[in-house]
Amino acid sequence: MMPLTFSITNGLAFGLISYLVVKLIKREYHDINIGIVFLTAISLIVFIVQ
């Protein structure tokens, strides 16, 4: 995502969202902690508001 948007922030946010989605699809709930969920929620809010 970083090469497409030329933004490190967007790339990291997309990476967090992708990580959480992949872990949920693979049903690896033990790898997900509250920090990842919190950062992903903030990232989603920022993407929606932009």
- Please report where in the chains the tokens 């992708």 appear, as a residue: 18
Domain that holds residue 36: 2-49
Print pLDDT tens along the chain (50 aa): 667 778 888 888 889 999 999 999 999 999 899 999 999 999 999 889 98
Residue 40 burial (CB count, 10 A): 19
Number of domains within the chain: 1
Q: What is the pTM of this model?
A: 0.81
For residue 2, which of 19, 15, 16 has the smallest C-alpha distance?
15
Contacting residues for 40 by C-beta, under 8 A, at least 6 apart: 16, 17, 19, 20
Rounded distance between C-alpha atoms, residue 50 and residue 30, angstroms: 32
